[in-house]
Amino acid sequence: MFGIVRALLWLLASLLKSRRRLEAENLSLRHQLNVMCRSTARKMRLRMSDRFLLVWLYRLWPGVLGSMVIVRPDTVVRWHRRGFRAFWRWKSRSRSGRPRIPGEIRDLIREVSLANPLWGAPRIHGELLKLGIEVAQTTVAKYMARGRRPPSQSWNTFLRNHAEGITSIDFFVVPTATCRLLFGLLVIRHERRQLVHVAVTASPTVDWITQQLSEAFPWDTAPSTLIRDRDGAYGQVFRQRIGAMGIRDRPTAPRSPWQNAYVERLIGSVRRECLDHLIVFGEAHLRRVLTAYADYYNCTRTHLSLNKDAPSPRPVLRDGRIKSIPHLGGLHRSYVRT
């Protein structure tokens, strides 16, 4: 009975409504019915087009909210407000202002900020101005790398700044044609990988090692730090001597040759590039061979760590005829222009 009365009241109220409003309510009800028909029994899903149609009907005829069944009227109003904000945000977007910074400049700012952790935006901005790049300092601060390392230098920078005063020393064993064992001694400076001294002996005593160190660094050419292993040949006399020369003794940890990597790498180069291709007949022969290799190593041989240059810098020759110069009996050759 109550349902019949409600239907009659709705019919009387519809007679007072305009034709367009009735059509809008009819369209709303039909669309809601279509949504319910295509949805599953468990959950009803509204597409973006469904929400747009309901909001559009509400925008044209606000009274259509009374015919909403599958959603609450407040939900339709919330959709309308959200779309209204999105529309005016798009409408009021900025169409002018500073021109967009090119990608290569943004990448340069990021690269400079990563490579120089001690620099801030003003310093980077100054460097860009000297390169002819006109950007604002706020732009530099915007495109700097986020979460950079703490303001400190890297280990590579630290080692390069101290390489000038670091020297390494080490022994290597060479068998002769008569099955004797000779000991070679190498002393290398870290700054330019320069082989400053080579020596050969059959019995390395502490006095002999001390004498070789004195010959390697005469007068005021002694380094500040000496890296060596814990060989028993370096006795108390050796430590006292390097202390008197003002050299800090830095022995490596036991069984840790990688802590003296420069001289270990040099010993490997001596073996691969020289001794593996020769038969050593005696102490004098080995001394001559190592002296010749040291001259080739320092003056001619190029190094990757030195940007393809020799420890004693070689000039770039562009004019003249190319001439080949043999070293170590032709085992290696260098090329110059004459």
| pLDDT single digits (tens) 255-294 | 899 999 999 999 999 999 999 999 999 999 999 999 999 9
Question: What pairs with residue 228 in β-bridges?
Answer: 251
Q: What is the mean pLDDT of residues 84-110?
A: 80
Helix (H, G, I), strand (E, B) or coil at 217: coil
Q: Token pair for residue 318?
A: 């562009």
- pLDDT for residue 81: 82
Matching residue, tokens 């959950």: 43
Task: Locate all alpha helices (DSSP H) within 132-279, ordered by sequence.
Answer: 137-143, 155-162, 206-216, 236-244, 261-273
Q: Is the pTM of this model over 0.75?
A: no
Torsion of CA 104, 109, 110, 114, to 10 degrees: 140
Residue 124 burial (CB < 10 Å; 0-12/13-18/19+)? buried
**DSSP letter assigned to residue 152:** S
Number of Cβ within 10 Å of residue 304's Cβ equals 7
CA distances from 247 to 206, 281, 289 (A): 17, 36, 30
Phi-psi region at 330: left, alpha or beta (left = phi > 0; alpha = psi -120 to 50): left
User: Which band of pLDDT confidence, cut at 50, 70 and 90, is reported for residue 183?
Assistant: very high
79 — pLDDT class (breaks 50, 70, 90): confident
H helix and E strand count, the chain = 12, 7
Please provide the distance, in angstroms rounded to a whole number, between the alpha carbons at the two ends of the chain: 121
Cβ neighbour number for residue 254 with a 10 Å cutoff? 7
Q: 126-136: b or e for each residue (b if 16 or more CB lie within 10 Å)? A: ebbeeeebebe
pLDDT class of 227 with cuts at 50, 70, 90: very high
Give pLDDT tens digits for 29-55.
666 777 777 766 566 777 777 777 777
pLDDT over 50 at 16, yes or no: no
